Structure 1
Amino acid sequence: MENHTKVTEFILVGFKSHPGLQVLLSVLFSTMYVVTVVGNSGMILIIRMDSKLHNPMYFFLENLSVLDICYSSVIISKAALSFSLGRRIISYNGCASQMFFFSLFGTTEAFFLAMMANDRFSAICNPLLYQVTMNKRLCVRMLMGSYLSGRINCIIQTGFTFSLPFCGPKEINHFFCDVPAVMHVSCSDTFVNEIIMLSVCGSIIVSTALVVFISYGFIITTIIQMPSAESRCKAASTCSSHMLAVSLFFGTVFFMYAQPGATSSPCKSNIISILYTTVIPMLNPFIYTLRNKEVKGALKKLLKRKGFF
């Protein structure tokens, strides 16, 4: 790789059309990162300290919070530092590492959301068998399978992208080392890489989204057939937050990675990237807390224990 690569570092241009907004972006990204870490850490603490939340649904939610912290740390911390110091240079190896971990955590999150939808399907459509089917061993295997799938994809994406020659220019029209943006600065034909990205990412996004929508198709049918309004409301309340998080995540990543021409307009993709790299990890704990009575009850109990009430 080093024999045909002249570029040893890249410049993350970011939002070059708005240079006067650098300070504002630094403050915004730093604030969002703090909120993300505090919110998701709080979610982990609530789940850990309340024994009533020690079930498969909250096992996945706790690990989703861990994933969101890692996911945003890879991107937001570096971006906030770059905006504040005005130093946008990232080394060749640093860029490859950022892409590797971003692809790892992003892909794993897609599988997490699919596993959570499957968990809700088992709980609502087969409640009598729920404890048997969604046992701890299966949950751990699903967790490990999600990370394994993420690892396979990040090796493919990072390996193929950084096998390309980079002779200059070395300016990446993005605020982090995303696959389409990095491929765009290669001095060789990237058609094969674009096909690989579209095929692999498209298959992951479509397959995980199908699991979600098929699961919720059965869930909605089951909820409609429930005899009492109270049962329907209770079942719907446990699913609405997850559906909101799923819609935000899959809507943005499909636009970025699962459509032809995803690498052709990096400027337009910068704004979309903010949604799934910063906004969604920040909003997830609030989405699951504000629309979940069990989590709100556990939060009130924790605050009372600490003397806030």
Structure 2
Amino acid sequence: MLGLNYTSVSEFILIGFSTFPQHLLPVFFLLFLLMYLFTLLGNLLIMATIWSECSLHTPMYLLLCALSISEVLYTFAIIPRMLADLLSTDRSISFTACASQMFFSFTPGFTHSFLLTVMGYDRYVAICHPLRYNVLMSPRGCACLVAWSWVGGLFIGLLVTSAIFHLPFCGLSEVHHFLCHVPPLLQLACGNNVPGVALGVGVVCITALLGCFLLILLSYTFIVSTILRIPSTEGQHKAFSTCASHLTVVVVHYSFASVIYLKPKGLYSEEGNTLMAITYTVLTPFLSPIIFSLRNKELKIAIKKTFLSKLYPSSI
């Protein structure tokens, strides 16, 4: 088991919600449960629609399907455990389970960022190089980009989890979070190499996230420049509408991430930090399928055709 010989701690206690009044916890449970079910069903609906509609078997929608898969796996690694802790007085988690949760949340989490970058590249090719789109974003090329996104996510997930859980933990076991996250676990670690591990993990994570963001920003710089050269307003609107849902998700994704990871230490209380983390782990995945389904005309039509026509034939 990962790191078992390096620590005297056999379990951790997740105390992220322990400071909230007890009467609020059932309310949080119901709210987060409904949001999680909506997130799960929304992503499954998107995946099923893309799978069943041949007209959506294009790189843009195949990337969206891969994004939904990463989101389902990410939320599954975090939210069910969080919901259980909201109604339980025993919030302990074993050493191995804590390491597993970190790995299975980091892997799809970073894969999600890589896929958003690939989707930005897809929109760049479609708008800036439309005549070469079928060559640059061929099915084989698209599959390779998705595969490399997962390889990158797996690499970072394994690297970060191994680095954290090979550190010695000196008896302290209270994790000031509702999940096994890097900063609160580093606070429990001891030894001379903790600062070096913290710096290394921080550099890897920030480099990956910032690199993805800068590549997306570069893609949209070229996209906007190309759109502004389109002579007709209708043509500009049509070109930009193909990017609107992706751009909105990117803004939401990085806005909440920056609030959490770039805020100064001690700016919020422990309750405030927990609620801020909820925005990234629960609210962002909840908003993603809504944005993609509401702001994408083709996807809305396909969902209506594929599913609503079967439930309400007279409405189609």
Shorter-chain TM-score: which interval? over 0.9
Residue of structure 2 in register with 1:283 after alignment: 287
Deviation at 1:3, TM superposition (A): 3.9
Rounded Cα–Cα distance in structure 2 between residues aligned with 1:146 and 1:285: 20
Cα–Cα, structure 1 residues 260 and 161, in superposed 2: closer, same or farther, change >3 Å? farther
Residue of structure 2 in register with 1:142 after alignment: 145
Rounded Cα–Cα distance in structure 2 between residues aligned with 1:3 and 1:142: 38
Q: Is the 8 A contact 1:180 1:262 kept in 2?
A: no
Instruction: Please say if 1:2 is aligned against 2:4.
Output: yes
Cα–Cα, structure 1 residues 199 and 67, in superposed 2: closer, same or farther, change >3 Å? same
Which one of 153, 163, 178 corresponds to residue 181 of structure 2? 178
Residue of structure 1 in register with 2:21 after alignment: 19
Cα–Cα, structure 1 residues 262 and 68, in superposed 2: closer, same or farther, change >3 Å? farther
Q: Structure 1-normalised TM-score?
A: 0.94
Task: Give me the identity figure in percent.
Answer: 36
Rounded Cα–Cα distance in structure 1 between residues aligned with 2:266 and 2:11: 21
Rounded Cα–Cα distance in structure 2 between residues aligned with 1:211 and 1:271: 30
Letter in 1 for 2:46: M
Rounded Cα–Cα distance in structure 2 between residues aligned with 1:256 and 1:90: 24
- What is the DSSP-based 3-state SS (H/G/I as helix, E as strand, rest coil) of the residue aligned with 1:175? coil
Rounded Cα–Cα distance in structure 1 between residues aligned with 2:77 and 2:200: 24
Cα–Cα, structure 1 residues 39 and 242, in superposed 2: closer, same or farther, change >3 Å? same
Residue of structure 2 in register with 1:207 after alignment: 211
Structure 1 gap segments, 5+ residues each: none
Which one of 125, 128, 138 corresponds to residue 125 of structure 1? 128
Instruction: Please say if 1:55 is aligned against 2:58.
Output: yes
Q: Deviations over 1:177-218 (max 9, x none)?
A: 011121122234531122112210111011100110000011
- What is the DSSP-based 3-state SS (H/G/I as helix, E as strand, rest coil) of the residue aligned with 1:90? strand
Q: Deviations over 1:65-116 (max 9, x none)?
A: 1111111000001100111233311100000000011110111111000000
Q: Is the 8 A contact 2:103 2:158 kept in 1?
A: yes
Residue of structure 2 in register with 1:222 after alignment: 226
Residue of structure 1 in register with 2:300 after alignment: 296
Q: Structure 2-normalised TM-score?
A: 0.92
Letter in 2 for 1:291: R
Deviation at 1:264, TM superposition (A): 9.7
Instruction: Please say if 1:246 is aligned against 2:266.
Output: no
Rounded Cα–Cα distance in structure 2 between residues aligned with 1:261 and 1:164: 25
Task: Map 1:73-88; keep pairs closer than 5 Å.
Answer: 73-88=76-91
Deviation at 1:25, TM superposition (A): 1.7
Letter in 1 for 2:161: T
- What is the DSSP-based 3-state SS (H/G/I as helix, E as strand, rest coil) of the residue aligned with 1:85? coil
Rounded Cα–Cα distance in structure 1 between residues aligned with 2:114 and 2:285: 15
Residue of structure 2 in register with 1:95 after alignment: 98
Deviation at 1:169, TM superposition (A): 2.0
Rounded Cα–Cα distance in structure 2 between residues aligned with 1:30 and 1:76: 8
Cα–Cα, structure 1 residues 93 and 266, in superposed 2: closer, same or farther, change >3 Å? farther
- What is the DSSP-based 3-state SS (H/G/I as helix, E as strand, rest coil) of the residue aligned with 2:13? strand
Letter in 2 for 1:28: L
Rounded Cα–Cα distance in structure 2 between residues aligned with 1:304 and 1:100: 38
CA RMSD of aligned residues (A): 1.9
Q: Is the 8 A contact 1:173 1:266 kept in 2?
A: no
Deviation at 1:155, TM superposition (A): 1.4
- What is the DSSP-based 3-state SS (H/G/I as helix, E as strand, rest coil) of the residue aligned with 1:244? helix
Q: Deviations over 1:94-140 (max 9, x none)?
A: 00000011110111111000000000000111111111110011111
Instruction: Please say if 1:116 is aligned against 2:109.
Output: no
Letter in 1 for 2:254: F
Deviation at 1:167, TM superposition (A): 2.1
Q: Is the 8 A contact 1:43 1:285 kept in 2?
A: yes
Q: Is the 8 A contact 2:50 2:65 kept in 1?
A: yes
Rounded Cα–Cα distance in structure 1 between residues aligned with 2:148 and 2:184: 28
Rounded Cα–Cα distance in structure 2 between residues aligned with 1:48 and 1:150: 24
Rounded Cα–Cα distance in structure 2 between residues aligned with 1:261 and 1:80: 28
